Structure 1
Amino acid sequence: MSPVFKRHFWLAGLLFSSLTSCFAGEHAPPDFAAIESVQARKTAFFDYLQPIAARVNTSILEDRSRLLDIAESKDSIGWWDRRFLNRLAERYDVDPSDKQTLLRRVDVLPVSLLLAQAANESNWGRSRFATQGKALFGQWCFTPGCGMVPKGRPAGQTYEVRSFSTYRDSVKAYVHNLNTGDAYRELRLIREQERKRLSSPEGAELAEGLIRYSTRGEEYVKEIQSMIRFNKLDRFDDVASACSHTEMDHRC
């Protein structure tokens, strides 16, 4: 079986799984603040966000699979693929001819990393930004009215915490931020190296590339890694990164 066929066969299975299991992510979220048991709150938080993360990652893998087909093709690509490539490159802020950088950006994030950061940044879905603005990751924006003004924002500062219509929109924006932001180039390089070693990128490893996500720097990185390990969040990573299993084309 050719690598391209294996990649497409695997992707079809993942798409079917995503469509049948991820609709829960479209439902209204639980009232996390009303759940008194810490363990029950954690379970509800992970159970709600994991399908959303899986769906976002699946969409990225669709694009990555097609991009790999184009990159591997020995023939000149047709106008339809050229159109796809140009649009994808524009979305990821890359020159269409720079396929290596584009492949470095069009890739999934381990669900373990996403869940740990969402829990950390939103206080397990209970923060004002999460409940009122569907903001799970504390992303800043600088256009007046783009989000919510943090309490205690220093005088003269204009940033707001970006608001979203749905939690899925928040997850998509977070993933795109890590996949394109200059501050997270190291994270993308770590992920690329893990791909080359036929290994599924792990959340705790990629967290090393978050040194600039928070003003707390290394302390923040260690806290995210601790949350991943303590809550055994790597158990969620198979859905997002199964593409790199050795029986599949490791580059997909």
Structure 2
Amino acid sequence: MYQTIIEQQAYATARSGIGGDVFAPRDTRQCLRRLSYDPYAAGNGRQMVPRTFVERLPRDMADIASLAERQKTFITLMLPIVLRANEIMSLQRSMIRAESDPLMLEQAMRQYDACDLEQLDRRFDVVPPSLLLAIAAAATDWGRERTAHDLMALAPDSLASPANLPPSAVQALGGARRSHYRDLLSPMLDVIHGINTYRDGAALRRERSRQRRSRRFDGYRLALLLDGGHLKRSPFVRRVLYAMEGGALTRLDHAKLEAPVAVVH
């Protein structure tokens, strides 16, 4: 999903970065040097987020004593992945809605339980970056936990669902999820799919629909509805809200990835 296409031609080699560049990090210093951008400047529209992705969080994330520094590092590493996951969801949604390919729509409807187009659309909806970052931060304590070589889960089971399975299969398997991830993009896609198919999320779905119509993200308002809108929050949702407030994550909802590149040698 981090595709890069190398095409050999008669007089040149064309390299197209459809997804971007992915690398296995040695430590946080290497990550920050390679990414080299300010996520909050990107949120304000003064900078674009690079198409450079870490496969996993570096081990020394747990050694960063300062919470503010760990927050900034976590956001810098995770924001490109969050935006790429939303980009994939948006592309899939556009492909399903494409009237020019009725066969593709027919196959999608068959795979996803013959649901109507509106329901299918919702399952491939994007999620505000602030909410995705806050869920990942709450699940990992800003990257301090689960940073070994095995890739971490970025959300509890109730908020993650295998993106490569139709909802009926997930329900039949009792909420199955992947046991091992190849990179950080896969669990992020599962989180988006889990939010989109959230069983007890009627209030959440209504708010998502309202935001979609107005074309304005509001991750904090959606976070308030993760418990169905009840005043008594679960401990995890409280951590999500604290993460969103402590990291000023709503400032990142308008950040955008750089455009895909094509380099000819």
Scaled by the length of structure 1, the TM-score of the pair is 0.64
1:48 aligns with 2:77: yes
Unaligned runs of 5+ in 2: 1-16, 22-48, 161-175, 257-265
Q: Select 2:246's aligned residue among 207, 215, 230.
A: 230
Opposite residue 224 of structure 1, the aligned amino acid is V
Give 1:162 shift.
4.3
Distance 2:137 2:64 in 1: 15
Task: Report runs of 4+ in structure 1 exceeding 6 Å deviation.
Answer: none
Q: How many correspondences in the alignment?
A: 194
- CA contact 1:122–1:138 (8 Å) conserved in 2: no
Q: Deviations over 1:141-184 (max 9, x none)?
A: 9xxxxxxxxxxxxxxxxx99944222111111111111123233
Distance 2:19 2:203 in 1: 29
Equivalent residue number for residue 85 of structure 1: 105
1:123 aligns with 2:137: no
Equivalent residue number for residue 210 of structure 2: 193
Distance 1:221 1:25 in 2: 27
Are residues 103 and 27 of structure 1, via their aligned partners in 2, closer, same or farther at CA, if it must alter by over 3 Å? closer
Equivalent residue number for residue 145 of structure 1: none
Q: Deviations over 1:10-64 (max 9, x none)?
A: xxxxxx8964855422355332102222211111101111000101101111122
Q: Secondary structure at the match of 2:187?
A: helix
Q: Secondary structure at the match of 2:142?
A: coil
Equivalent residue number for residue 89 of structure 2: 60
Q: Secondary structure at the match of 2:201?
A: helix
Q: Deviations over 1:70-106 (max 9, x none)?
A: 3xxxxxx5xxx23322443456x3525x111122222
Distance 1:203 1:58 in 2: 17
Unaligned runs of 5+ in 1: 1-15, 71-76, 142-158, 241-252
Distance 2:95 2:82 in 1: 20
Alignment of 1:116-195 (within 5 A): 116-128=134-146, 130-131=147-148, 132-139=150-157, 162-195=179-212
Distance 2:233 2:180 in 1: 24
Q: Secondary structure at the match of 1:25?
A: strand
Equivalent residue number for residue 26 of structure 1: 54
Q: Secondary structure at the match of 1:228?
A: helix
Alignment of 1:101-112 (within 5 A): 101-112=119-130
- CA contact 2:62–2:143 (8 Å) conserved in 1: yes
Opposite residue 182 of structure 2, the aligned amino acid is S
Distance 1:161 1:99 in 2: 27
- CA contact 1:94–1:102 (8 Å) conserved in 2: no
Scaled by the length of structure 2, the TM-score of the pair is 0.62
Q: Secondary structure at the match of 2:200?
A: helix
Pairwise CA RMSD of aligned residues?
3.3
Comparing both structures, which one devotes a greater share of its residues to helix? 1
- CA contact 2:124–2:196 (8 Å) conserved in 1: yes
Give 1:219 shift.
5.2
Are residues 226 and 29 of structure 1, via their aligned partners in 2, closer, same or farther at CA, if it must alter by over 3 Å? closer
The alignment-based identity, stated in percent, is 26
Distance 1:90 1:204 in 2: 35
1:95 aligns with 2:109: no
Are residues 89 and 232 of structure 1, via their aligned partners in 2, closer, same or farther at CA, if it must alter by over 3 Å? farther
Greater relative contact order (Cα < 8 A, sep 6+): 2
